[in-house]
Amino acid sequence: MAFPITRHRRLRRTAGIRGMVRETLLTAEDFIYPIFVTHGTNVKEEIPSMPGVYHFSMDRLEEEIRDVVASGVRSVLLFGVPEHKDSIGSSAYDRDGIVQQAIRAVKSWAPELVIVADTCLCQFTDHGHCGIVHQDTASGTAVVDNDQSLELLVRTAVSQAEAGADIIAPSNMMDGFVHAIRGGLDDAGYSDIAIMSYSVKYASAFYGPFRDAAHSAPQFGDRKTYQMDPANVREAIREADSDVAEGADMLMVKPALAYLDVLRLLKEQFDLPLVAYNVSAEYSMVKAAAANGWINERGIVLETLTGMKRAGADIIITYHAKDASRWLRGEEV
């Protein structure tokens, strides 16, 4: 039927009707909140390029965890900024490394929280790459050794599971990383620990503020040989398909905002839970515009997160998580 029999505005007439027919629902349970943990004492240091996001030392971390729980967010993603870096990222898989310490502490303070551990080497290597680097004899250039890196990523994942992580989230984009980590976890007796794979991670300009936060900028070159070309979408299917075959429990697209088409594609192609990472620059641009009075921060954030979920995300990693959770409850922030 056409107008005037069909009037689409009938279902928009009141807030109650709009709520009744709303297709996409955003809740606090959708969010994972990233936290940066560092060494030292009495450290709560705001990251300049990420207003409202902080480095926490272990003695200040509990107050942040209590605030996360109070906000209604039920999952956290832990990143570590180590005291010591070396060429093989040994702090990443140290039993008493900063991430491992944080996992054990958070489990004791808030056992109901789901703890996701970032599994990568870039924050822990002195060269800032996500794996072991060696000189290629043919070209004379430094390259990341894929297969040698897998061994250390497995050690990292097992040490995080041993500390009490509920989910391992490998973000390194080495070929075969899910297969290697799944095998390592199973061999160590952690077959029940899930893998949230950074399946589709683009070599993006949207990571800049995170690299300030994690002190993980490459000291030479870039990551384009192992992270995906932003121009490619069919490649995303190949990457995700490999991870499914290797035993991933969840798939991720990172970044989210400029890759909503990729989120939708993976939602249609695969039946695993799908994660969107609302990355640092996406967050910082909103905060900067809001600080200048150019936008309504609450409205922009909730609309953006709803768009990610509408595109296909089941879970959203976002630095807005605490604020968004409170806004959804009708609270002022």
CA atoms within 13 A on the CB side of 275: 28
DSSP string, 44-67: EEE-TTSTT-EEEEHHHHHHHHHH
Q: Is the dihedral of CA 308, 309, 311, 315 positive or negative?
A: positive
The Cα–Cα gap between 288 and 135 comes to 41
Q: What ranges in 188-259 are assigned the alpha helix state H?
A: 208-214, 234-246
Residue in this structure with the two tokens 């906000």, named with its chain if needed: 71
Q: What count of other Cβ atoms lies within 10 Å of the Cβ of residue 21?
A: 8
Q: At 196, which amino acid appears?
A: M
Q: What count of other Cβ atoms lies within 10 Å of the Cβ of residue 13?
A: 10
Structure tokens at 274: 């799908």
Structure tokens at 275: 């994660």
Q: Is 56 within 8 Å of 36 (Cβ atoms)?
A: yes
The phi, psi pair for 7, rounded to 5°, reads: -130, 105
The Cα–Cα gap between 118 and 114 comes to 13
For strands 31-38 and 274-278, give the pairing: unpaired
* Secondary structure class of 201 (helix, strand, coil): strand
Catalytic residues: 201, 254
Q: Is 38 within 8 Å of 56 (Cβ atoms)?
A: yes
